[in-house]
Amino acid sequence: MVQQQEPLPGSAAPTTGTAGRIWFITGASRGFGRLWTEAALRRGDRVVATARTLASLADLPQTYGANVLPLELDVTNPEQVKAVVAQAHAHFGRLDIVLNNAGYSLVGTIEEVSAADLKALYDTNIFGALAIIQAALPLLRAQGSGHIIGVSSSLGLVTMPLIGSYCSSKWAFEALHESLATEIKPFGLHVTLVEPGAYATDFGSPQSLKFAPGLDLYAPLRSSMLERMRGSKRGDPQATPAALFALVDAPTPPLRLFLGSQSLPHTRTVYAERLATWEAWAPVSDAAQGQPS
């Protein structure tokens, strides 16, 4: 006897079949992007799968036929972004879910990271996502429906040494989407920040991880942090599609959704410490208000 599971908060019955949801996914060649692309296709949705090189997506049509449209896309090229989003929309007639997944991390202390490295990071992680959003919004507004999903990180809420640049890009990513959610709610559009914790994906591969030139004085910190990252408990990526589908099928999706069980306890502790500090210094803060004008 199969035991029926309780529905997740806000969830509805999943949409299936060839008339199901239409996704636009960036960074679909590997990691979460590839996993979620194939999971959506297996459940009967259709997907516009984009990546920097078309060859990395070449096997998808062989398996999923006309339900997948692979397109080459460099998110740091705004003109290409506009053209590809328009092509995707024209091909399937609409876009239901726009999932900004393309991104990478930069390893280096704040002193070690160059302005050029940081700019390149933001070109992909922030300005690339912004270009996708701005290209898709007029189309979603015209439809009167749509769900923009930004793949952030638990490090969009807390930080770690050695990857402060990456954290900063995700903090900016979070602010951009939080403001966006309020701005486009009157048009019937949804926004969600998906915040994965540590997972056993290839996010730590050379394709997803860049290193700034190191200074010797930070060698002990670098060694200990990299060892800590290597030894951290990582989630199973195959467990994530069900959460993603619960999110997109929910009539009222949340603004934020953690993926994994470790992020909420850690974030709760960090925010408790922040609140305690603000409270302790409240008299100094209040005195800085001065007299009402």
The model's pLDDT over 69-88, given as tens digits with 9 standing for 90+, comes to 999 999 999 999 999 999 99
The dihedrals phi and psi of 107, each to the nearest 5 degrees, come to -100, 125
Angle (CA) 202-205-209 rounded to 5° is 115
pLDDT at 206 over 80: no
Strand partners, 289: none
pLDDT at 225 over 90: no
Instruction: For residues 23 and 112, give the distance between their C-alpha atoms in angstroms, rounded to a whole number.
Output: 38
Percentage of residues in the chain having pLDDT higher than 70: 90
Q: What is the mean pLDDT of residues 162-168?
A: 95
Q: Which residue has the tokens 């529905």?
A: 7
List all residues 6 or more positions away from 292 whose beta carbon is below 8 Å from its beta carbon: none
Residue boundaries of the structural domains of the chain: 22-285
Instruction: For residues 13 and 8, give the distance between their C-alpha atoms in angstroms, rounded to a whole number.
Output: 11
Strand partners, 257: 194
Q: What is the mean pLDDT of residues 127-156?
A: 97
Strand partners, 22: 46
Q: What is the mean pLDDT of residues 217-225?
A: 90
Burial of 78 (0-12, 13-18, 19+ CB in 10 A): middle
Q: What is the mean pLDDT of residues 112-131?
A: 97
Q: b/e map of 259-279 (b: 16 or more CB within 10 Å)?
A: bbeebeeebeeeeeeeeeeee
Q: What is the mean pLDDT of residues 256-269?
A: 95
Q: What is the mean pLDDT of residues 234-250?
A: 94
CATH for the stretch 22-285: 3.40.50.720
**Which positions are catalytic?**
152, 166, 170
Q: Is 157 helix (H, G, I), strand (E, B) or coil?
A: coil
Q: How far is CA 289 from CA 28, 258, 283, in A?
A: 50, 36, 10
Q: Average model confidence (pLDDT) for the chain? A: 90
Please give the full DSSP string across 55-90, using - where no structure is assigned: GGGTTHHHHHGGGEEEEE--TT-HHHHHHHHHHHHH
Give the E-state strand segments of 130-208 in sequence order: 147-151, 190-196
